[in-house]
Amino acid sequence: MPLSEAPEDRVVEAMRYACLNGGKRLRPFFVMQTAALFHVDTRAAVRAAAAVEMLHCYSLIHDDLPAMDDDNLRRGLPTVHRRFDEATAILAGDALLTAALGTMADPDVHADPAVRCELVSRLAAASGAHGMVGGQMLDLLAEHQDLDIAAITRLQRMKTGCLIAFSCECGAILGRASCASRQALLAYAHDVGLAFQIADDLLDVEGQENDLGKATAKDAERGKASFVAVLGVERARAQARLLIEQAIAHLDVFEGRAALLAAAARFVVDRQR
Amino acid sequence: MPLSEAPEDRVVEAMRYACLNGGKRLRPFFVMQTAALFHVDTRAAVRAAAAVEMLHCYSLIHDDLPAMDDDNLRRGLPTVHRRFDEATAILAGDALLTAALGTMADPDVHADPAVRCELVSRLAAASGAHGMVGGQMLDLLAEHQDLDIAAITRLQRMKTGCLIAFSCECGAILGRASCASRQALLAYAHDVGLAFQIADDLLDVEGQENDLGKATAKDAERGKASFVAVLGVERARAQARLLIEQAIAHLDVFEGRAALLAAAARFVVDRQR
């Protein structure tokens, strides 16, 4: 094909494809809702929320690659490397990660550069070798391993928990919240993150491929460690419910102003996709 | 293999392998030398320099992947995906990119968070979809294309020039240099960056595989656009020399205090690897 005026636009097209084709938007929802608790300007919060979503979408692109989870379907559409090609998928992921961290440093996110630096630092910590990326490494190494519940919990805290925790902490950082408020949100996020993962495992076992927009029963086929494999369906479901009640209890400090966060916690375990 | 205490250490091992096995350290050299012009504390500058090198090494890991340039040898050693595996290489690259941008936000890099935010923003801009990643996309799309000299120049400015430019600008940002000093360093970097790429193309044609520590004549085999392919060896060599003289002239504003930067410019075209 001939090189157009700006052929690098292909990578931008792949970035848009990965970010703008549905998804639950759970992480940006957490950013917006926690920011609202501290009266953060919506136009600022939405930029931080977009950064978190870009980071999440980069992780999905790379996780779906043939060398990783080798998935063909995501949100009911071909994964980025299937729709484009592997090289474009790797580059689109790289560019989204770069844009996510770069966006947090943007003056439009917060007037105080110290706040923006904290956002960059915390987001990098949540998503790097000792956070999300380390969790994905663990997940790949854990295939066909007998993990106990402590090891699975640690894996999931790193792989998905850290970024969900950052999403909830983000509003507190933007709003210069008190230490108590910030700790309450982190505790909420940790419980919700784990419940989210248990619900994901349950959907992998029980869900319908059409509803999910991605393949089901893949974890079991791969011999992947999961809460359901260790606990069984009934105990896993009970554990998720318990975590959600615990998460909602952490919101008590906000005296009813966090009703949407409480509802979101319930949605996380009741969702069908 | 059984899961050790911290199996995610595999990704850290791959990160170290990619960063600490040689290399010219040209970009951190530029950071240190430009920072020295403005009397920046060495302990602060070296952190920014490390961040730039981590970013560079991430780009090498991902560029070497089978889906990209598919290289087996780098710096005389197996590439990361050959030494480890593809998944680990993708993750190690992701984690290095994350660490690079995260490091720039670290208080140890500069006391003023506004300076740190500027470093994050500029590094992200230099390495994202409209900088290095966009350049790599262009490079992949350009295989078996007849590019003219303007298109090759644009490709190389994005793919390698932007990060070299940032390396030189970095010292000026850390040292809160005058606009004139900063512009002089950027002009120097642009010329050196282009000369560096022409020298690379010449080495690909004329170099010895043993000296280079990587495969030679690969660009021509792939039908990759290069300065040498368009200009021929003699004119390409003359062009590189011209660019270097021009680069050194930009250093005049520093009245002899940038002698090492001038020497580095000469090294860039005279090097054997």
B118, B215, B273 from B212: Cα distances, Å: 35, 8, 5
The answer to whether residue B150 neighbours chain A at the CB level (below 8 Å) is no
Give pLDDT, residue A2. 45
B35, B195, B259 from B271: Cα distances, Å: 24, 12, 18
Token digits of residue A154: 């640690």
Distance from CA of B267 to the nearest CA of A (A): 31
Buried b (16+ CB within 10 A) or exposed e, A187-217: bbbbbbbbbbbbbbbbbbeebeeeebebebe
B108, B129, B155 from B158: Cα distances, Å: 29, 9, 5
* Higher pLDDT pick, A54 / B2: A54
pLDDT per position as a tens digit, A118-155: 999 999 999 999 999 999 999 999 887 788 899 999 99
The answer to whether residue A68 neighbours chain B at the CB level (below 8 Å) is yes
Q: How far apart are CA A272 and CA A63, in angstroms?
A: 22
The position carrying tokens 């260790």 is A230
- Taking CB atoms and an 8 Å limit, are B94 and A62 in contact across chains? yes
Judge whether B211 and B273 are in contact, CB under 8 Å.
Answer: yes
Task: Work out whether the CA dihedral B217, B221, B225, B230 comes out positive or negative.
Answer: positive
The position carrying tokens 């009741």 is A270
pLDDT band (50, 70, 90) for residue B270: confident
Distance from CA of A160 to the nearest CA of B (A): 15
- Taking CB atoms and an 8 Å limit, are A129 and B8 in contact across chains? yes
Token digits of residue B164: 């070299």
Give pLDDT, residue A69. 93
| Residues in CB range of B180: below 8 A, 6 or more apart | B253
- Taking CB atoms and an 8 Å limit, are B129 and A99 in contact across chains? yes
Q: Which of B133, B136, B156 to mutate to test the interface with A (most CBs of A within 10 A)?
A: B133
In degrees and rounded to multiples of 5, residue A269 shows phi and psi of: -95, -20
Give pLDDT, residue A204. 85
Q: How many CB atoms lie within 10 A of CB A178?
A: 12
The answer to whether residue B129 neighbours chain A at the CB level (below 8 Å) is yes
Contacts of B13 in chain A (CB under 8 A): none
pLDDT per position as a tens digit, A200-238: 889 888 865 556 666 666 666 666 778 898 899 999 999
**Exposed / middle / buried, residue A132 (Cβ in 10 Å: 0-12, 13-18, 19+):** buried
- With vertex at residue A166, the alpha carbon angle to CA A92 and CA A137, rounded to the nearest 5 degrees, is 55
- Taking CB atoms and an 8 Å limit, are B117 and A107 in contact across chains? yes
The answer to whether residue A130 neighbours chain B at the CB level (below 8 Å) is yes
Give pLDDT, residue B217. 62
| Side chain identity at residue A241, one-letter code | R
Query: Which secondary structure element, helix H or strand E, spans residue A4, and what is its range?
Result: none
The answer to whether residue A46 neighbours chain B at the CB level (below 8 Å) is no
Domain ranges within chain B, ordered by starting residue? 9-270
Judge whether A89 and A81 are in contact, CB under 8 Å.
Answer: yes
Distance from CA of B257 to the nearest CA of A (A): 32
Characterise B217 by phi-psi region: left (phi > 0), alpha (psi -120 to 50), beta (else).
left
The answer to whether residue A135 neighbours chain B at the CB level (below 8 Å) is yes
Which residue of chain A has the CA closest to B9?
A134
- Taking CB atoms and an 8 Å limit, are B102 and A124 in contact across chains? yes
Q: How far apart are CA A64 and CA A70, in angstroms?
A: 5
Contacts of B136 in chain A (CB under 8 A): 91
Token digits of residue B246: 């021009």
Judge whether B133 and B127 are in contact, CB under 8 Å.
Answer: yes
In degrees and rounded to multiples of 5, residue A4 shows phi and psi of: -80, -175
Judge whether B155 and B227 are in contact, CB under 8 Å.
Answer: no
Contacts of B129 in chain A (CB under 8 A): 8, 11-12, 15, 95, 98-99
Q: How many CB atoms lie within 10 A of CB A180?
A: 9
Q: How far apart are CA B259 and CA A18, in angstroms?
A: 47
Which residues are registered as beta bridge partners of B77?
B74
Give pLDDT, residue B2. 45
- Percent of chain A's residues with pLDDT above 90: 78
The position carrying tokens 């969702």 is A271
- What's the average model confidence in pLDDT over A230-247? 94
pLDDT per position as a tens digit, B121-168: 999 999 999 999 999 999 999 887 888 899 999 999 999 999 999 999
The answer to whether residue A251 neighbours chain B at the CB level (below 8 Å) is no
Q: How far apart are CA B173 and CA B181, in angstroms?
A: 10
Token digits of residue A234: 């009934």
Give pLDDT, residue A233. 93
Buried b (16+ CB within 10 A) or exposed e, B98-132: bbbbbbbbbeebbeebebbbbbbbbbbbbbbbbbb
Q: How far apart are CA A68 and CA A5, in angstroms?
A: 34
At the second CATH level, the architecture of B9-270 is Orthogonal Bundle (1.10)
Mean pLDDT score of chain A, rounded to an integer?
92
- 0.90 surpassed by pTM: yes
What ipTM was assigned to the predicted interfaces of this complex? 0.94
Q: Does B1 have pLDDT greater than 80?
A: no
Q: Return the closest-CA partner of residue B62 out of B74, B85, B80, B76.
A: B80
